[in-house]
Amino acid sequence: MSQKPKVAFICVHNSCRSQIAEALGKHFAADVFESFSAVSETKPQINKDAVRLMKDLYGIDMEQAQFSKTFDSIPEPDIAISMGCDVGCPYIGRAFDDNWALPDPTGQSDKVFRETVSQIEQRIIQLKTQIQGGVYREKKI
């Protein structure tokens, strides 16, 4: 593969799960794929609990390099992943390659947030392994 595939993590609001996935994708898999997050409706800021816990757990300050953005403002993805359609998946112009079906932890305890972050980390590492193994070879990458 001559260039790294672009992976888009999609949610309705792009303030929590998709932002965490973008940050963890950059942290754990930047050598294999590029990470982006986007939405159909932007929020003025990233979820404060997500920001705080990502700093605590990984030393990642999502507010430094990330912000809520719409799907049309990121590069065309090779792989599009829905973070969970509990409030309805936005239409992105094509089918999703995967739906991680993660419930939104917004307003929940730190324990719930940490579990969601842990699940996203595991899925990022699994996605990295799949891409390295050619699982997404039939896509444009």
Q: What is the pLDDT of residues 95-139, one digit of tens each?
A: 888 999 998 899 999 999 999 999 999 999 999 999 998 877 554
CA nearest to 7, candidates 29, 109, 58: 29
Burial 114-137 (b: 16+ CB within 10 A, else e): eebbebbbebbeebbeebeeeebe
**52: phi then psi, degrees, rounded to nearest 5:** -60, -45
18 CB neighbour count, 10 Å cutoff? 31
Q: What is the domain partition of the chain in residue ranges?
A: 6-132
Percent of the residues in the chain that have a pLDDT greater than 90, as a whole number: 59
Predicted local confidence at residue 1, as pLDDT: 43
Q: For all residues of the chain together, what is the average pLDDT?
A: 88
User: What CATH number has the domain spanning 6-132?
Assistant: 3.40.50.2300
How many Å separate Cα 38 from the centre of its chain? 8
Task: Please tell me the pTM assigned to this model.
Answer: 0.90
